Amino acid sequence: MSPVTRAPKARLSYEGHVVLLALLAGLPGAAAALIILWTGDYTPRTQWTLSILIVGAWWGFTMAVRDRVVFPLQTLSNLLAALREGDFSVRGRSPRPDDALGEVMREVNTLGGTLREQRLGAMEATTLLRTVMREIAVAVFAFDEHGRLRLVNRAGEQLLAAPAERLIGQNAADLHLDSCLNGDPQSTFQAVFPGGAGRWGMRRTRVYERGLPLDLLVISDLTQALREHELQAWQRLVRVLGHELNNSLTPIKSIAGTLETLLGREPLPEDWRQDMQRGLNVITSRSDSLSRFIGAYARLAKLPRPQLQPLRVRPWVERAATFETRVPVVVEPGPDVSVRGDPDQLEQVLINLLRNAADASLPAATPVRVGWRRDGAMLEIWVQDSGPGLSTTANLFVPFFTTKPGGSGIGLVLSRQIAEGHGGALTLENRTDQSGCVAALRLPM
């Protein structure tokens, strides 16, 4: 037997419930009045007239109750529908603002005003974002989870040499951006695009729009910036090299000219051998200085990549402290921790810092203090001296700049280069508690 399909039960609507409850509320009184009317000694005309009046009043009050309940709800429904559609200019009114219905209308009106202000703020923020996206000088692309382009700005159109109407909806592979979409989230690469060629920097970020993921690509042209930095680096290099070469070649040229004039005299002076010896000694000294300068530059330019391995901090600091014997070196106790680094390079950095601190502490031979501490995810090794401090910090890390007699001017530059090669940093500043300087080497734990 096939199952019997039951028809769904008819259910009264909200308006039907209101009408039914109003009829039931007036039923006892109306029924009593009709019973008294029809059982009493009244003429038929009176009975029918009063019956019609009783039933009409009963039904009229029922409809009035229905309208009093249903019509405000319909008004609220229309107001909420307008808010849902984005029309925040509609406002509700109540004859009595101090009753319950008036409070509901007032809250709905307040909600409409709040939503209107929020929409205005969102529209302004969206307009600002679109303006920035349109005018920014970096290319911005947004791809959906299927690798199709969903958003591109003006710089992106120029990079791909096509309008947005032609680009939207294409796959990343068709746009030759699949390597950016699937590779590392941050990288630099050399590429040729329809709108230009050069070296580019790329960042990829996951964002969401209406709950759907989007991969946001930001591609910037690094060629011009790299060229400017390269030009500045060459200018600084030529300026330093020219300064050092002039410092050596000028006295060599002058002394060579003097010796040539001396040898051209007839007869030769009696002390010409001594003059020749002194001149040649000066030429040899300046040549050696120039050779040391070139060797120092070669060491700075050919610093190898660090060979990372576990390095315990306490033995490293204590071992580096033993190399400085001119002044007392006090090793302050610190936590027993390790870092990943190149032992030879990091030891050279610490030796350079201790040597500079000792130079600043002479001739009084005041103690130099060295210690370390953990600062979150970083390890800080500090070296303190009690010398005169730093007169200026502008040229501390300028290659070949030095204030010490016989200094090469590459110790701090090389030390900072090693620190940055380990993902850290090197800073020097004057002490605040007394005279002297403190050097801080920060390395990732």
What is the per-residue pLDDT for 407? 46
Q: Are residues 212 and 235 in the same domain?
A: no
**Residue scoring higher pLDDT (279 or 126):** 279
Q: How many domains, in total, are found in the chain?
A: 4
Q: Is pLDDT at 93 greater than 90 in this prediction?
A: no
What is the per-residue pLDDT for 293? 64
Q: Are residues 216 and 189 in the same domain?
A: yes
Please tell me the pTM assigned to this model.
Answer: 0.42
**Domain contains 181:** yes
| Residue that is written with structure tokens 């300028």 in the block | 398
What is the per-residue pLDDT for 69? 82
Q: Percent of the chain having pLDDT more than 90?
A: 5
- The tokens for 167 are 């680009």
pLDDT in tens, 16-33: 888 888 888 888 888 888
Rounded distance between C-alpha atoms, residue 315 and residue 324, angstroms: 15
**Domain contains 106:** no
Q: Are residues 374 and 391 in the same domain?
A: yes
What is the per-residue pLDDT for 244? 61
Rounded distance between C-alpha atoms, residue 355 and residue 323, angstroms: 9
Rounded distance between C-alpha atoms, residue 266 and residue 374, angstroms: 76
What is the per-residue pLDDT for 372? 93
Q: How many Å is the Cα radius of gyration of the chain?
A: 45
Q: Are residues 41 and 159 in the same domain?
A: no
**Domain contains 283:** yes
| Residue that is written with structure tokens 């791909």 in the block | 160
Confidence of residue 75 (pLDDT cuts 50, 70, 90): confident
- Average pLDDT of the chain to the nearest whole number: 80
Residues facing residue 141 across a β-bridge: 152, 217
Highest mean pLDDT among 259-268, 311-320, 383-392: 311-320
Q: Are residues 328 and 422 in the same domain?
A: yes
Q: Is the dihedral of CA 395, 396, 398, 404 positive or negative?
A: positive
What is the per-residue pLDDT for 314? 92
What is the per-residue pLDDT for 97? 66
Q: Is pLDDT at 398 greater than 50 in this prediction?
A: yes
What is the per-residue pLDDT for 371? 92
**Residue scoring higher pLDDT (175 or 244):** 175
Rounded distance between C-alpha atoms, residue 343 and residue 337, angstroms: 15
Q: Is pLDDT at 98 greater than 70 in this prediction?
A: yes
What is the per-residue pLDDT for 66? 85
| Residue that is written with structure tokens 């009595």 in the block | 96
CATH number reported for the structural domain that contains residue 334 in this entry: 3.30.565.10
Q: Is pLDDT at 370 greater than 90 in this prediction?
A: yes
Residue-range definition of the domain harbouring residue 22? 14-84
Per-residue pLDDT, averaged over 401-418, amounts to 64
**Domain contains 1:** no
The domain boundary residue, chosen from 189, 221, 253:
221
**Residue scoring higher pLDDT (436 or 372):** 372
Residues facing residue 216 across a β-bridge: 142, 205
